[in-house]
Amino acid sequence: MLSEPMTLYKLMILYMLKQVKFPLTNSNISDFFVSKEYTTYFIVQQALSELLESNLLSVENINNNSRYEMTKEGNEALSFFEKQISPAIITDINEFIQTNKFRMRNEVSTTAEYYKLPGNDLIVHCEVLEGKTPLINIEINSPDEEQANIMKNNWRSCSQDIYQYIMKRLLGGME
């Protein structure tokens, strides 16, 4: 076991990212540490910052949401030190990921935002990604901010049905 807690937290973050095939959000990572009472939110933020500074993680900010991925250097570092993570912690991480994998993947792959165009028009931009490739990308004009918010907030729960409907229509499966 490592004597330096911050080093252990960094290894735990790298291990989490190794276990999934998609980026993790700041809240995904923080939820694990806080819910399992390993450390505080602020310490997790410090660990993430230090991992970024060391080029062991990369971050992409989309819709005010930070998405973290392990870099090649991060993968190499983890391969050297992964055995320093106790089996109990590995079990906790694996159980957390198994329990929350679908929700976490959905959070990073399904996004919606709206923005204003000149002349007060609002555009709601909705997207579903498979990795970094868009499966569906829709922009809808909204008459007002209230309706734009409703569309944005409903996208995550409706996107699969909308995608299936569009695919059926485009492939001639509905009359």
Concatenating the DSSP letter of every residue in 79-123 gives HHHGGGS-HHHHHHHHHHHHHHHHHHHHHHHEEEEEEEPTTS-EE
Domains, the chain, ranges and CATH? Answer: 4-101 (1.10.10.10), 109-171 (no CATH)
In angstroms, what CA-CA distances link 167 with 11, 40, 124, 173?
42, 45, 21, 8
pLDDT of residue 157: 84
Mean pLDDT of 140-160: 88
* b/e code 164-175 from CB counts within 10 Å (16+ = b): eeeeeeeeeeee
Put simply, whether the predicted model's pTM sits higher than 0.85 gets the answer no
Highest mean pLDDT among 28-37, 154-163, 165-174: 28-37
Going by pLDDT thresholds of 50, 70 and 90, the confidence category of residue 175 is low
Q: Is the pLDDT of residue 92 over 90?
A: yes
The string of pLDDT tens digits covering residues 25-79 is 898 999 999 999 999 999 999 999 999 999 999 998 876 678 899 999 999 999 9
Q: Token match 């190794």: residue?
A: 18
Asked whether 24 and 44 are in contact (CB, 8 A), the reply is: no
Q: pLDDT at position 1, please?
A: 46
